[in-house]
Amino acid sequence: MGLASVLVYLHEECGNPVVHRDVKPNNVMLDSEFNAYLGDFGLARLVRSDTSVMTMVAGTIGYLAPEVTYTGRATPESDVYSFGMVVIEVVCGKRSQWMMDENSLVDYVWELYEKGEILNCVDRTLAGKYNSDEVRRTLMVGLACLHPGSKFRPTMRKVVQVFMNPEEPLMSVPLSRPMVVSLSFSSSTTNSTGVADSGGSMQSFPEEMTITRNASCSDE
């Protein structure tokens, strides 16, 4: 809740929006009452003219949103993806492996969710001593934030509303893990983009590119 509130402030409340670009557990500090603070703003950037910051790819592997690795564009939505990874790690009590590794933490949680067994991923050191409804909602928030399509991720304000109010409707989460990454490009930087179809020919798409991931890969 504390980390989500910080990101709401950065994205919506501090004048020009700020993208942190390196949201991860190592950059979250806790005080004596376990209130969360976000540190290390060395990679943070102001968002001035549009909704993204065009820059060299920067951040920590495993917490980078898929579109950042393809385009170098950091957005509030890419911070949301990183937040989702933090949520999953905290609830599971495990560190994420690199996205290209097999059997990554994200794969593990998605597989359990698809089987209707999502609570089986909860940190075993808790020995079942937790509110199952709260944990289930928190995991659903994490999965929603980890959607590979940036347009489908919730805002951090919606995340805070879900955490604060148990009656707040959850954001929509697909029944199975999405396998498509949608990339949007500003017309000022490119007129069109292309991806190869199954036959190897190129198809052009104005201002947006959709990449279908190979189902045999954990994440691309």
The catalytic residue positions are 22
- How would DSSP label each residue in 5-19? HHHHIIIIISSS-EE
Q: Facing residues of 205 across strands?
A: 193
Query: Are 142 and 109 in contact, with CB atoms under 8 Å apart?
Result: yes
E strand map for the chain: 18-19, 28-30, 36-38, 45-46, 53-54, 73-74, 180-184, 193-196, 202-205, 208-212
Rounded-to-integer distance, Cα 107 and Cα 113, Å: 10
The closest of 48, 64, 30 to 150, measured between CA atoms, is 64
CA 115 to chain centre: 22
